[in-house]
Amino acid sequence: MIYLDNAATTRPDEGSVREAMRYIGEDFFNPSAMYKEGFAVHKRMDEARKNILTNIADPSKFDLVFTSCGSEADNQAVFSCARRGNFVTTEGEHAAIYQAAAELARRGVEVRFAKLDRYGGADEEDLLRLVDEKTSLVSVIHVNNETGAVNDIASVAKRVKAKNPRTFFHSDGVQAFGKIPFRMTGEIDFYSVSAHKIGGVRGAGALVRNKAKNLFPFVFGGGQESGYRSGTENTFAIMQFEAAARKKFRTLTEDLDRVKSFNGLFRRELDGKIFAILSAENASPYILSVSARGLRGEVLLHMLNDRGVLVGTGSACSSKNRYSRVILACGADERTADGVLRISFSAATTEEECREAVSIINACAGELAERTR
């Protein structure tokens, strides 16, 4: 099997899983328990919190709230901050933001969507035009999960604050964390991350918070996570998240260079008579969207699956929709959107796998094109 759907989820890093197994075995204690064993787990969890945070932010200015996933972190930021006025976001957001925006609209909050460029990046001028004195929250995805477009969120946040200093700024950083170089700036108030995109297990995510900004709880109960997120913490997933992040950030630069070469290989070797490249040259190299225009991407996906190559047709969270709303928002027509494949890499991907996958993809697309003539 050649796995090239890493934007959906990555294989858990085996070494990180082994390292964290003690929190299922001998150190299984509830971190909220009063006895010393529980307190020791709580103390170790706070070390993991700081270690994960330090990769992208100054712990003296930011803190980190553990959640169950990136979607929960996104939702907490949205429903905590967009309680009045209007909410400004983009047409290229992950479903966790896009559907949260729909719920806000049902609750009476005005929602405004900024346009995208042809590659899925936010139209900054259009977004700034939508921000006014009543804007309570702006949320802009860092790396688009379908096209890999990278938004300069530090610049966008600075411009938003210049227009309305009271506006909160949030970014979904799930596809950026551990993959592209980045540090939190003072204008970014909240930032969502997830473990399972970087070799962590599913069940752990986090919301990074500027300490100067208020955050309301999204899950109520026992008051864990300093009252910001109730529920007994998943200590195994958190510790494995820490170990996977440590490993990922240690090799971030060399992984990025290697993945760039894989991305370039696909751009060069995919059959140009069938495939159009939809991702920009300066997109995150971890994600490459292409279109076999006039062919059904879903049919091609299943053909590839039968031959041992696993890819996506867009966001796994929106897989029930024939046409990607993000690809359509980039200006693509339905024939182009219908033929989309999303190829996404990880640090574990090899050149040999990529070369074999390109050959299989070209062969399957050629066969499908012949059948549909």
Q: How many helices (H) and strands (E) does the chain have?
A: 12, 12
Euclidean distance between CA atoms 42 and 38, whole angstroms: 6
Q: For residues 91 and 326, is the Cβ–Cβ distance under 8 A?
A: yes
- Is 81 catalytic? The answer is no
Q: DSSP label at 61?
A: T
Tokens of 38: 């529980």
Kindly report the CA angle at 203 between 350 and 36, in degrees rounded to 5?
A: 120
Tokens of 167: 């506006």
Q: For residues 224 and 206, is the Cβ–Cβ distance under 8 A?
A: no
Q: For residues 312 and 295, is the Cβ–Cβ distance under 8 A?
A: no
Q: For residues 117 and 123, is the Cβ–Cβ distance under 8 A?
A: yes
First-to-final CA distance of the chain:
30
Task: Give me the catalytic one of 69, 81, 317, 354.
Answer: 317
Q: Where are the beta strands (DSSP E) in the chain?
A: 2-3, 62-67, 86-90, 110-114, 135-139, 168-172, 190-194, 205-210, 275-277, 287-292, 309-310, 340-344
Q: Which residues are catalytic?
A: 317
